[in-house]
Structures are given as C-alpha cells and as structure tokens.
Amino acid sequence: MSSTTPTAPARRLLIVGPPGAGKGTQAARIAEELAIPAISTGDIFRDNVSQETELGVLAKSYMDAGEYVPDSVTNDMVRSRLAEPDAAEGFLLDGYPRTLDQVEALDGMLAELGTPLDRVLLLEADTDTVVERLLARGRESGRSDDTAETIRHRQNVYAEQTAPLVEVYESRGILRRVDGMASIEDVTAALREALAP
C-alpha cells in the first residue's frame, strides 16, 4: 500500500450513451457528488434562448425554421459555458460532443482553457430494453414523440454519429464503460468507481 496522498477523482467529464440510457439522471447525481456543474447542450440552448443572448437569438432562428442548429453556434455556446467560473474546477458534459467534428472543437476549447478531459463515461444499454423504457416514459408523461419508430430512429442516429466518438476516446485511454441497464443506485456506484484515479 502506497503512502502517497490519494489523487482526487476525475472532475472534467463527459457522459455518453444512447437515448434512454439514463444519462441525465446519472449526470445530475455525479455532478452533485463532485460539486461540479452538469452541462447539457439542451440547458445551454434553453438558457441562451430565454436570455435572448446573441447566440440564443441565432439558434432560435434555426429552431423556428425546423432546422438543426449548426455546429458553429453550438460550439460557441459550449465554449462560453465552459469559460464560466463554476466550471473552472470541473464539469460534466452531457449531450456534447455528438459528432467527430464536435470532438475536434471541444479539444480546441479545452486546450485554450488548459483543461483536458479526465474521463469519458459510456453508459451501455440494450436497444430493445431502452425502446421499452422510453415507450413506458412516453405513456406516463404523454410525450407524443416517444413512439417505437422515433425511438429506434434516435437510436440509429446515435449509433451512426456518436458511436465513433467512443473509439476516439477509447484510443486515448480515458473511456470507461458502465452497464446502464442496472438499477439507478448500481449505475451510480459503477460510475463512481470509474472516476477513481
């Protein structure tokens, strides 16, 4: 047993996984435990739009037209959020990056800040189980967008766009895989373990 001081757990984090794997739930729990902000692109968009920032007005013009917000706008919003004081000691990104181009953009932002990612947490989930889980959620909350067809489409988009990120982060040695199908408590415990130095 080494007598050196234990190293602090990883604090600059990214959580990825298919829709319905429980990322939002786990991100909130882990961020609270580590006293770091959970930063989701959805929240960043809503904040910028509601505060009518320059980027928010621009993003809203795309959303109102039913178009995807371009990477350049999303990247600028994330860059601005990561530069805020509460993210100086760490953060947990959820929902960004989604594409290899965004990985490159994030690398650039973190290089500017001098804060590389410590860990990428991958919640693995069985597609059929996730579809059932999201259908049940749709019935409970009355979400009309949670049909089997749209859910499977979102899973396919994730597989095409986001799965390649897993390879990138795995090659860097910072990816940790966690079974997202376990109970909420067990998943949190496994993520905690994955953050250990």
Per-residue pLDDT at 128: 87
| SS3 labels along 152-171 | HHHHHHHHHHCHHHHHHHHH
pTM of the model: 0.85
Amino acid, res. 187: V
Domain containing 53 equals 12-191
Instruction: Supply the CATH number for residue 163's domain.
Output: 3.40.50.300
Positions annotated as catalytic residues are 23, 98, 137, 143, 154
Residues 6+ apart with CB under 8 A from 147: 135, 138
d(CA 75, CA 115): 17
Average pLDDT by consecutive 10-residue portion of the chain (197 residues)? 52 92 93 95 88 91 83 92 94 92 95 93 91 85 76 86 91 96 95 92
Residue 6 belongs to some domain of the structure:
no
Residue 100 belongs to some domain of the structure:
yes
Residue 44 belongs to some domain of the structure:
yes
Q: Which two tokens stand for residue 34?
A: 């580590």
Per-residue pLDDT at 8: 66
d(CA 136, CA 147): 10
Residue 2 belongs to some domain of the structure:
no
Per-residue pLDDT at 152: 87
Number of domains in the chain: 1
